[in-house]
A = this chain, B = another copy of it.
Amino acid sequence: MTASLNDIALRAGVSVKTASGALHGGSARMSDATRQRILEIAGELGYVTNFAARSMRQGWMPLIGVISDELITSRFATEIIRGLDGAARAAEMAVFAVTLGNRRDVGKTLGEIRQFRPRAIAYAAMYHKRVTLPPSAAEAIAVMINCQDDAGLIPSLVPDEEGAAIEVTRYLLENGRRAIAFINLPGLLAGALREEGFRRALVDAGMDGEAAPVLPAVRQTIYSDRAQSLVSAHVAALLDSSSPPDAILCGNDRVAMEVYAALRRAGRSIPEDVAVASFDNQVDIATRLDPPLTTMALPHRAMGRMAANILLSAEPPPVEVHRLPFQLVERSSV
């Protein structure tokens, strides 16, 4: 079907190894004339390297495998994959992503991906969470992205939720806000860590950390699109209370969107009456809200880049949990 090195060698009147050297081995010894002729013939014949054949000798395909629990279908995937892809491309590797099927069987998915003999395999989660992997899987997975291995056997890259909450809370305080409410995402690791950071920042500022209201955005334990939103009710109650907030911190940009609507219905203006800040930096939403939303951007791309570095490094990296910082994106809602 496609031309092989053999075809090229035949046509050029050289051996296969010379053809291989001309096309791939940059430093192979041969005259420029020979190399040029081989390159030309390769072009004519439309030669394309056969990675499968090469991989037989090398033992692996130039692939980085990514197992994602639901990642591909998430908008967060974009940034993680971009980060991975950029770094992998620099090393002449491709990223091969496989979504965990409905059966959530890591072992099976791992087997599927290993059939392609990737150089290394990462596990990526859509939401920041802890993951328990079967022991056999732990050996094959080199790094966890946006999640943390429960057994502590695998290097993990996670967003620094607590630090981000501290930073954004401090930012609100520096802007003169004193009564901050937090409409948080319940049932998520991220939410729990952010709540800690939120309260810590208040305490650090000499305020009563326990008194600050932290309310769940939805009724269900697991956050999903189906969950019944409590945002509207919470905002109304907060505004009616004896100590109405002058700032609302939101679990994500979608929550912020609902907060905007609720504040508007109550006749409050943003940010004059109530400042709003959030986590996510979902650009579609954050830039189009009126006023544009100040929000903490998740370090997805950084996680992807760092993961690629770990995956491509020759030495197995030390097993530790890297907490990557968010970035404050200032717009006009504070």
Contact = CB atoms under 8 A, between A and B. Distances in A.
Interface of A: 1-2, 46, 48-53, 55-56, 59, 61, 72-75, 77-78, 81-82, 85, 89, 94, 96-99, 101, 111-112, 114-117, 136, 225, 254, 257-258, 261, 264, 282-285, 287-290
Nearest to A73: B78
Nearest to A252: B284
A254 B285 CA distance: 8
B59 A56 contact: no
Contacts of A61: 52, 116
A51 B282 contact: no
A284 B223 CA distance: 13
A116 B81 CA distance: 20
Contact of A257 (B89, B258, B288): B288
B82 A94 contact: no
Contacts of A114: 2, 48
A305 to B, nearest CB: 15
Nearest to A74: B78
B49 A254 contact: no
Contact of A284 (B94, B116, B254, B290): B254
Contacts of A290: 258, 261
Contacts of A101: 89
A73 B75 CA distance: 8
Contacts of A264: 264
Contacts of A257: 285, 288-289
A61 B290 CA distance: 50
Given A50-B115, A96-B96, A115-B50, A82 B73 contact: yes
A158 B53 CA distance: 37
Q: Which 6 A-B pairs have the closest CB atoms?
A: A52-B52, A52-B55, A73-B78, A261-B290, A48-B114, A51-B115
A229 to B, nearest CB: 8
A117 B50 contact: yes
Given A72-B78, A257-B285, 10 more contacts: A1-B59, A53-B56, A73-B78, A73-B81, A89-B101, A94-B112, A254-B288, A264-B264, A282-B284, A284-B284
Nearest to A85: B99
Contact of A285 (B49, B72, B116, B285): B285
A53 B55 CA distance: 8
A71 B320 CA distance: 33
10 contacts: A1-B59, A52-B56, A61-B116, A72-B82, A72-B85, A77-B78, A85-B99, A94-B112, A284-B285, A285-B285
A74 B48 CA distance: 29
